[in-house]
Structure 1
Amino acid sequence: MMTRRLILIEGLPGSGKSTIAKMVSEILIEKGMKVQLFQEGNLDHPADYEGVAFYDAGDFESLLKTHEEYREILESHATAHDQGYLIPYRKMREQWGIELPDHVVQDIFSRDIYEIPFGQNVKLITEKWQGFAQNVLSTEDDCITIFECCFIQNPLTMGLVKCNQSKEHNVQYVLELSRIIHALNPLLIYIDQKNISYTFDKAVSERPKEWSEGFINYYTNQGFGQAQGYQGVQGTVQVLQERKKLESKIYGLLQMDKVWLYNSDYDLELCRRKLEKILE
């Protein structure tokens, strides 16, 4: 039997992904397994990019000319990649304590890997997943990696929410990732919430105001939401409903071990019992 090397946790915002990802990690550790958990926002994500911008060579040179006084800092922290450069701007600020003024960071952010054109994003993300899969397969280590939200949510956030790509493009994006990780014998746990409106309202009430304002703006002022003329909380819920439909379709097409986990009641004890069975 193929060894399981990867567990994927997916679901809409507020469905309980973070809590369940941690719970999966705890259950496996209790079983004596070696586990690596990468949650949303991890700056060292092995298969995704967080707070990283991509510039092709010409645009990188323009950036350096525009911000000549930061040329040395930017050049020394950029990594050559695919005839261009990756700039880990969030790490520079948050981990390495590099003082970059807001206007420079804003400029760099405009080329974040989740802000660039769809085709470029797909290429960079797909290559990152390939590197991750090869790396795991090349080690004798029997560690299980757990990813929260980067397998379905992030591609659809880019493809549907931001760029309003066709269903086919979005489906193919995720199916390509699934082909890349096939040899890792992944398990997908999709956390389902019956009432998307209730779930989103709950997330809004529990999280900082900046989160909900940013989220609503992101979901309604570009891509699919903008094309449909959706606005506010109600409009955001409509985009989320469309995302859920697409995620359900993708779930049905995926050729991997997968579980649809109901979490509408947020009953942690029940969830834990279900997960213990799933992970046996």
Structure 2
Amino acid sequence: MRSKLVLIEGMPGCGKTTTAQLVHEIFTEVNITSQLFLEGNLEHPADYDGVAFFKKTECDELLNTHRKFKDLLSNLMIQQDNDYFLEYRKIKNEVWSSFPAELHHAVFKHDIYELPLDQNRKLITERWKKFADRVLYGADTFVFDCCFIQNPVTIGMIKHGAKKEEVISYVIELATIVERLNPLLIYVQQNDLDHSFKKAVKERPQEWSEGFIEYYTNQGYGKEQNYKGLDGALQVLKARRELEEEIFNRLNITKIKVDNSSYNKNDYKEVLEGILSE
């Protein structure tokens, strides 16, 4: 059975997005229908981005606290049994900007990636199960950029400072869920983590690096280690790399590491073509 799911993972700045795009391009060239979902895609079929979660009591509290927007919020809420989801990043800018700061904060603190780890894991694994059920007998191949290992590690280790085994078991649970899709994990590596990360910092907008450093050093593992600034974020990244290495070794799915240190797109595409043709 050909893999119905290709998972692209690796450290920031290593070329995950480029890899995912090339994999999708290669599939297209050989007439394999694939669907590409990059980081931040609000239509992701197995992940949540910009989605807040509320239990019924929490939803009622939100609506009663912000009565002026009660009807609008009620119409935007997606109900599943006694749970409510608000895809707040999909709300039109003019509507979202009309909300007061207190309402923005009230919604954001319920973002699925701001929740306690156990609650996040429950919601994410349920979504992956629904995805696997839905696509199992379809013809398409799916290419996912960095939501398989990176997201559990980020919320587990980076945000909450969770124990290593808890984070590893989260990823292994996702792997078990999609096992029937015969997944292929492509882990992108760089020889020099310092160089690739600093290259990303230089090439991306300043607000990206500032937000990244704050996220990596002001909570969870980074805060516990008292890391500060760019160098502190790098130390957290190195610890993350060690954890992801262990996760990679313990996963019982088809997996391969690729070296993208040269940043030579044509040569790199040939390497990926060889992997995908096996």
Q: Structure 2-normalised TM-score?
A: 0.96
Match status 1:15 vs 2:14: yes
Note the residue ranges of structure 2 that are not aligned, 5 or more in a row: none
Q: Deviations for 1:191-239, whole angstroms, at most 9, x for unmatched residues?
A: 0112111111101100001100001000000000000000100010011
Q: What's the offset of the Cα at 1:112?
A: 0.4
Q: What's the offset of the Cα at 1:163?
A: 0.5
Q: How does 1:167-178 map to 2 (within 5 A)?
A: 167-178=164-175
The corresponding residue for 1:186 is 183
Q: Report the CA distance shift for 1:44/1:102 in structure 2 as closer, same or farther (over 3 A).
A: farther
The corresponding residue for 1:29 is 28
The corresponding residue for 1:160 is 157
Q: What's the offset of the Cα at 1:101?
A: 2.2
Secondary structure class of the residue paired with 1:131: helix
The corresponding residue for 1:112 is 111
Match status 1:124 vs 2:129: no
Q: Report the CA distance shift for 1:132/1:100 in structure 2 as closer, same or farther (over 3 A).
A: farther
The corresponding residue for 1:210 is 207
Q: What's the offset of the Cα at 1:83?
A: 2.7
The corresponding residue for 2:85 is 86
Q: How many residues get paired?
A: 276
Q: Which residue of 98, 101, 111 maps to 2:99?
A: 101
Secondary structure class of the residue paired with 1:273: helix
Q: Please give the alpha-carbon distance, in whole angstroms, between the structure 2 residues aligned to 1:16 and 1:106.
A: 33
Q: Deviations for 1:117-157, whole angstroms, at most 9, x for unmatched residues?
A: 110000000000000000011x4x32110000000001111
Match status 1:260 vs 2:257: yes
Secondary structure class of the residue paired with 1:147: strand
Q: Which residue of 237, 241, 246 maps to 2:243?
A: 246
Aligned Cα RMSD in Å?
1.3
Between 66-75 and 76-85, the greater mean CA deviation after superposition: 76-85
Q: How does 1:63-82 map to 2 (within 5 A)?
A: 63-81=62-80
Q: How does 1:51-70 map to 2 (within 5 A)?
A: 51-70=50-69
The answer (yes or no) to whether the contact 1:77–1:87 under 8 Å persists in 2 is yes
Q: Deviations for 1:236-270, whole angstroms, at most 9, x for unmatched residues?
A: 00111111101110111111111100111212122
Q: Please give the alpha-carbon distance, in whole angstroms, between the structure 2 residues aligned to 1:66 and 1:78.
A: 16
Q: Please give the alpha-carbon distance, in whole angstroms, between the structure 1 residues aligned to 2:149 and 2:14.
A: 14
Q: Deviations for 1:88-141, whole angstroms, at most 9, x for unmatched residues?
A: 0001135x965542512222011100001110000000000000000011x4x3
Q: What's the offset of the Cα at 1:20?
A: 0.9
